[in-house]
Each structure stands twice: as C-alpha cells, then as structure tokens.
Amino acid sequence: MMRRLQLVSMIALFVVASSPLLAASGGSVSGVIRDSNGVPQMGAVVQLLRPDMSVLASAYTSSKGTYTFADILPGKYAIKAMGALFLPSLRENVRVRANTVVNLTLNTLYEVMQWLPAESRAANAPGDDWEWTLRSAANRPLLRWLEDGPLVVVSDRPGARPKLKARLMASGQEGTFGESGERFTASVEDTPSDSRELLARVDFAPDTDAGMESMLGFRQDLGFAGAVESMAAISIHPVVEGSGGEGLDEAAMRGSEKINLGDEFEIDAGAQQVMARFSQNSPNTILETLPFATIAWHGGNSTVSYRMATAPSVPNQDESRAGFYLPRVSMHDGQLALEHGFHQEIGWERRTDASGVSFLVFSDNTENPVIQASGRFGNNYGVLSDPMSGLMRAAGQSFSSAGVMAAVEHRVAGGNRIRVSYANGDALVMPASVHPTALSQVFSAAKPHHAQMYAISLSGKLDGTGTRWRASYRWQPADTVTSIAQYSVGAIEPYLNLHLRQSIGAHHDGLNVEALLDVNNMLAQGYRPYLVNGSMLVFAQDQRSIGAGVAFTF
C-alpha cells in the first residue's frame, strides 16, 4: 500500500513539473525598461526565461516602457530585455511571487565594459570560463555569452550598473613634433566603483608610418587615508630620426601615493621611470628615475606647501594624454638626451568658490633643456628631427634659475573665469644673427638670461550655443627659446592660443558629437630665424600648431 502511494505521488509530481508553467496561477512579474539615462523604452522585447535559460514567454513594452507577465507559477526565473542599438540585459535568480517587480536598464557596449581585474574570490566561489563571462572589479558578472549565442549584460541586484564613458576622436593637426597629420584617438574613462577610476587611451595615425601613443592609468581612492595612482604610457614614432638612429620609442611608468594626515596635512609622493631609445641603430638608451613629492598644510581656505620635482611640466597638457607622462628628449653631442633637473618651491594659496590667489618662490636646475626649431634638416646634423612636421629638437646649455610666480583667478559673469599670472626667472636666450652660422655655434650661443613672463587666460561656456572656449596669451621676451618657470603646474602655452569645443549633436542613447579646434601661437610670435648651412632654421619657444576634428562621446 505504501509503495503504491509513493508511486502515485511521483507520477503526480512529474505531471506537475512537465506541465506549462503559465497554466498555473499565483505569481506575476512586471516592470519598466529604461536606458542608461532613465528614458522608458517603447517596443523593447522582454523574455521570461526558465532556470536553463529557455524562453517561457515574451512580451513587448508599452509606450511607457512597461511590461507584464501574469499567472506564473512561483519560483526562480530570469528576465531578459532587448532593444535596438542596445546590448540585451539579463536579471538572474528572480524569485517570482505575487506582484514581483523587475526593472531593467539597457546599456550600450561602452557603458558596460570593465577594464579592471577582478578581486580575489572566496575559496568556495564557483569558477567560470573567462571566454564567456566578464566580471567587474567587485567580482560581479557583467557580460556573458549565453549558450544560444547572444551577449547579455548581467546584473544580480537592482541598481548594479557600471559607470563608463568612451570617446572616439578623428582629427588633423599640423606643427606638433611627432604628431602631425591625421590622427584617430580612442579613450575610455571608467568608474567601476565609488573608489576606483580607470583611464585608457590610444592615439595613432591611419595608413601611415606616423607615430602612435597609448596610455593606461588607474586610481584607487582610499577614503580618509588618501589614494594611490599608477600610470603607464608608450610612444612609438617610426619617422623620428637622429644621428643615424631611426624610430624613436618612449615609455614611462608612474606611481604615486597620496597620504592624508588628518584634515590638515597631505603628502603626495612618487616616482616616474622613463625610457627612450631608437628602435634601429640606436646610439644609446635613456633609463632614468624621476622622483617627485608635495607636502601641504590646509587651514581653512588657505594652503601652504613645499614641492619637489625632477621633470619639467608640459604647458597645459591634458593628463589623459600619454604625452603628459612621457619623457621630453632631444639630442646632445650625437646622443639622446633627457630634459630633467631639480626643482624646489614653497608656495601659498588661498581659494574660494569665486576666486583664488597664489604666490610661490622657486629654485630650479635644468639639464638638457629642449630647444625646438622648424626647418628641413637630415639626421647628419646631430639633432632629433621629425620629417613629417619639419620640426627638430636639440639640447641647450644646462642652467640654474630662481624666481617667483604669482597668480590671481576670479569667476566673472556667466560662470566664466579669468586668470592672470606673473613669473620671473632664467630662460635660454638666442641673440639675433644676420650672417650664416654653423648649427653648433647657434646652440652654443644660447645663454641663460633673467626675464619676466605675463599671462592671462579666459575660459567659459557661451549661453545659447553651448560652446566651451578657452583663450590665453602668455608673453615673455621674443629672444627666449625656453619657458620661464618650466616646472610650474598649470602653466599655459606661450603667446596667443585658442581652444573651442562645440556640441553639434546629442542623441537619446547617450552619444554626444563635438567639433574641436585648437590653435597654439596663432600670431606666430617669438620666432628666431637663422641661416644654417644654406637652409633657414627658425627657432621658437613654441611653434604655431593647428588641430581640428570631431569627437564622439558615449
């Protein structure tokens, strides 16, 4: 009797398990499908999946982005949403009961990429194949290839969405050492958690032998303790040559740590390892470690700081570009030479939301300062030359300098900002000459001289058009071929410069299109012409350069 009862029970369970789940009643699933900007998506396909990922039912979202599955047997399911121009989104392990609500977000590919390695998993955590599952830095599955083929965005809790911005840029530029011509740039700025940031960028010229730059940077916020940063950058310029060597390769690794000692003291210290060489027939290889450190005391709106650096700053260089971290090299006596030195400063700064003022005194020692000129010279003259841009670099006389720098910044009407700065110190000066001169004599004639610098910068955004702009002018004597206060942070480019960013289209899927225009030294000021070996060579602290393009931000 007991065996017969067990047999009847097993048959009953089998019939129930094999019957369509929608025939049962009791559970329901409903929700709203939105994009990453919170806009409801009409006409999106929503699927109810069994635990084995087979499709149980499908529905389309309404004009308000809503969907509903009714009369579902309570249990565990998965909800999958799909829409045009989006990756499918999947919510797993949904426990369906009466009136279960599951809202999903559809993302583009760039919004879900995760570049950081996963954290260590617990010993009892299940393994998975990297070829079909991509995990976030918090060890949460993000992208998965299902057995039936499609790539889906996986989320295991409400609100679990990666934060990422990607940018593609096509541009053309002229007058920049190692970067003239058409350029394509792709960059990714990622914030996979509240404490981590990642930046990846690659810059190259299509269908040519021109250079390529790439970088990868990572920052971990440690809360009240501070933060740690790591940056890696590579530059490959096959056309750059000098003293029989061809193809300049540069690399840099930069690591730093910021330490907060309470609310008042802050220490930021680290080092940068740099390398430069020719890929073919290299005369020498540069390997150097460049340390840096800043100690600051904060009291109210004021800050007093001490700063030490060994690499000169690049005026107005974007930290998201590889060139910000790469060594600045030239040639000296037929050998590659690295521009470096030793800088110390003591500064005071007071800043509010509307204004700021700063003052510092500094002492510098600069070795192998880069002197740049335009002209057509081969590599038999002991200089570093870029045939594409027509620019050349050589190392000038090492020198020491001491001086002061002051700046005042204020926010004016319309949210625009104005900044005025002043500095004095030594710079290399090249005297005028009307007679043919040997190249070696030109460089030996460059001597340090005390001079002054004045600069003004205005920036803001135009109402109505939304144009973001920045215009600046930096003056120092025309005979100076290196900048004054070379180690200053946030210095602008010499002479008259204009940078424009105009949005020309925004789409509901988060795509924004911008037109870009960058012009440095618009008036071609500060040029020092010399007749060298029958050719005209024009020296300048900063050559005129023009860049324009289109950027797509996702």
Residue 449: Cβ-neighbour burial (10 angstroms; 0-12, 13-18, 19+): middle
String of DSSP letters for 297-316: EEETTEEEEEEEESSPPPTT
Average pLDDT (392-405) is: 93
Residue 40 in this model has a pLDDT that exceeds 50? yes
Do the two domains 23-116+127-155 and 163-553 of this chain adopt the same fold? no
Average pLDDT (298-310) is: 93
Q: Which two tokens stand for residue 162?
A: 């990666």
* pLDDT of amino acid 431: 84
Non-local (6+) Cβ contacts of 32 within 8 A are 40, 61, 64, 65, 66, 67, 103
- Mean pLDDT for all residues in the chain: 80
Q: Does residue 121 sit in helix, strand or coil?
A: coil
Q: Which of 190-199, 407-416, 473-482 has the lowest mean pLDDT?
A: 190-199
* pLDDT of amino acid 72: 87
Q: Does residue 65 sit in helix, strand or coil?
A: coil
- CATH domain 163-553 topology: Porin (2.40.160)
What are the angstrom distances between the C-alpha of 165 and each of 186, 188, 549, 552? 11, 6, 19, 11
Q: Does residue 11 sit in helix, strand or coil?
A: helix
List strand residue ranges (DSSP E) for 368-446, in order.
370-374, 384-386, 391-395, 399-411, 417-429
CA–CA separation, 389 and 241 (whole Å): 12
Residue 115 in this model has a pLDDT that exceeds 50? no
| pTM higher than 0.75 | no
Q: Which residue has the higher pLDDT, 188 or 40?
A: 40
* pLDDT of amino acid 303: 94
Residue 387 in this model has a pLDDT that exceeds 90? no
Cβ-based neighbour number of residue 315 at 10 Å:
20
Q: How confident is the model at residue 507 (pLDDT cuts 50, 70, 90)?
A: low
Residue 185 in this model has a pLDDT that exceeds 90? no
Winning range, highest mean pLDDT, from 72-76, 96-100, 186-190, 290-294: 290-294
Q: Which residue has the higher pLDDT, 86 or 78?
A: 78
Of residues 408, 402, 404, the one with CA closest to residue 421: 408
Sequence ranges of the domains in the chain: 23-116+127-155, 163-553
CA–CA separation, 328 and 324 (whole Å): 10
- CATH domain 23-116+127-155 topology: Immunoglobulin-like (2.60.40)
Give buried/exposed letters for 493-510 (b at 16+ CB in 10 A, else e). bbbbbebbbeeeeeeebb
Instruction: For 208-225, write each residue's pLDDT tens digit.
Output: 666 788 888 887 777 667
CA–CA separation, 121 and 383 (whole Å): 54
Residue 345 in this model has a pLDDT that exceeds 90? yes
Residue 14 in this model has a pLDDT that exceeds 50? no
